[in-house]
Amino acid sequence: MIVDTLILDLGGVLIDVDYSASARYFRALGHPDFDTLYSKAKQTDLFDRFETGELSPQGFRDEVRNLLGTQLSDAQIDAGWNAMLGSIPQERIAVIEELKAHHRLLLLSNTNAIHVPAFEAIIARNLGITDFKGLFHGAYYSCELGMRKPDTSIFQHVIAANGADPARTLFIDDSMQHVEGARRAGLRAEHLELEKEDVIGLVARLGLLT
């Protein structure tokens, strides 16, 4: 496999994420139906709008309060929303560094303006890395671009911004719908099935590690 450019997803691929943790947090506060609003596989329009920056953090919090019929504070909503975020195991950092040495390494994540400072703080605290984006040749967040996966436009934007050849670009994501979006944009794409392997195993199996 000839790959010049490698694009990695963030949540699930690099950062461990427990989507049910947020539902558990809100359930403990008396709101058992948060998981009907948001999960890895499906989410309401509210979360899509937040991930594309259409909603501000305050607008997001206000809509969560409205949907849940609650008077939760901003801090409580942020804590619950961030509860799903884990960290990046040290061994994945080593793989990121190796991949960056041999490929144009990019990051492309559907994320939002509450999660970004939260996971950057987790990584700084746990790993001592204070410039997370600096681990990559380029890092792209949906909330900053106004686009989100699986729309082909976001893949086309990243490809154009880096002068990359789609046919020599490999995208890795744990969401099949995002993989399919990348393929529609002309990229090569691999679905990381987290039940079977992690990103280290996948890139090794694909021959991307020296």
Q: Residue 177: enclosing H or E segment and its boundaries?
A: helix 176-184
157: pLDDT strictly greater than 70: yes
Q: Count Cβ neighbours within 10 Å for each residue of 21-52 and write b for 16 or more, e otherwise.
A: ebbebbeeeebeebeebbeeeeeeebbebbbb
Say how many residues make up the chain. 210
134: pLDDT strictly greater than 70: yes
Q: What is the pLDDT of residue 43?
A: 64
Q: Which residue in this structure is represented by tokens 């979360």?
A: 47
| Eight-state DSSP code of residue 147 | -
Q: What is the pLDDT of residue 39?
A: 57
In this prediction, residues 10-31 reach a mean pLDDT of: 93
At a CB cut-off of 8 Å and minimum separation 6, what does 44 contact? Answer: 37, 38, 67
Instruction: Specify whether the CB–CB gap between 81 and 115 falls below 8 A.
Output: yes
Gap between the Cα atoms of 102 and 189, Å rounded = 18
Query: 191: pLDDT confidence band, cut at 50, 70 and 90?
Result: very high
The proportion of the chain whose per-residue pLDDT surpasses 70, expressed as a percent, equals 97
Q: What is the pLDDT of residue 68?
A: 85
Q: Which of 1-15, 30-44, 131-145, 185-199 has the least mean pLDDT? A: 30-44
32: pLDDT strictly greater than 70: yes
Gap between the Cα atoms of 6 and 169, Å rounded = 6
41: pLDDT strictly greater than 60: no
Summary mean pLDDT of the chain: 94
57: pLDDT strictly greater than 80: yes
Q: What is the pLDDT of residue 44?
A: 73
33: pLDDT strictly greater than 90: no
> 25 vs 13, 35, 71, 141, 202, CA distance in Å?
23, 10, 15, 25, 32
- In the chain, the largest separation of any two C-alpha atoms, in whole Å, equals 54
For 80-118, write each residue's pLDDT tens digit: 999 999 999 999 999 999 999 999 999 999 999 999 999
- Residues of CATH 3.40.50.1000 domain(s) within the chain? 5-16+88-205
Q: What is the pLDDT of residue 31?
A: 86
Report the predicted TM-score, pTM, of the whole model to 2 decimal places.
0.94
Other CB atoms within a 10 A radius of the CB of residue 97 amount to 11
Domain 19-82, CATH: 1.10.150.240
> 85 vs 93, 116, 167, CA distance in Å?
17, 10, 33
67: pLDDT strictly greater than 90: no
Top-level CATH class of 5-16+88-205? alpha beta
- Residues of CATH 1.10.150.240 domain(s) within the chain? 19-82
For 160-184, write each residue's pLDDT tens digit: 999 999 999 999 999 999 999 999 9
The residue among 43, 71, 35 whose CA lies nearest residue 148 is 43
Gap between the Cα atoms of 14 and 199, Å rounded = 7
In this prediction, residues 130-150 reach a mean pLDDT of: 98
42: pLDDT strictly greater than 80: no
